Amino acid sequence: MTTPQTPPHKLTCHCGAVELSVKLADGFNTARRCDCSFCRRRGAIAVSVNLGDLQVVRGADQLSLYTWGTHTAKHYFCSVCGIYTHHQRRSNPNEYGVNAGALEGINPRDLGDVPWAEGVNHPSDR
Ligand SMILES: [Zn+2]
């Protein structure tokens, strides 16, 4: 993939209240969409970041947390503008998924055809 991926990436919400610094686990090779009841509504492309490779630079107090179902996954979003920034995964709690569209300098269109993850039939439900 030709998308630039010089780490670390700056990730911002829309209003700028929240800023994260992230190092992608495997560039954009991990980019996924998901069809679970939550992600299908959110509609974002997520990329993987290892748990230790995400820092909240600004706005930790502006982040809201949403959990549902088994309450294992932790979905964070900006409480001011509502933009999803990152979530701690249920399928792998040692990983975050981060909003590819919120990475500075990245146009999600350049990611091409992004594969779909098993959301409706979640691996943890089998
Ligand atoms: Zn915001």
pLDDT tens by residue, 60-119: 999 999 999 999 999 999 999 999 999 999 888 899 999 999 999 999 999 999 999 877
121 CA distance to ligand 1 middle (Å) = 31
41 CA distance to ligand 1 middle (Å) = 19
12 CA distance to ligand 1 middle (Å) = 8
Containing H/E element for 56? strand 46-58
For strands 63-66 and 84-88, give the pairing: unpaired
Res 16 pLDDT > 90: yes
DSSP letter (8 states) at residue 25: S
77 CA distance to ligand 1 middle (Å) = 8
123 band by pLDDT with thresholds 50, 70 and 90: low
57 CA distance to ligand 1 middle (Å) = 13
Res 2 pLDDT > 60: no
85 CA distance to ligand 1 middle (Å) = 9
Across the chain, mean pLDDT equals 91
CA gap 111, 96 in Å, rounded? 19
125 CA distance to ligand 1 middle (Å) = 33
Res 4 pLDDT > 70: no
Res 31 pLDDT > 70: yes
63 CA distance to ligand 1 middle (Å) = 9
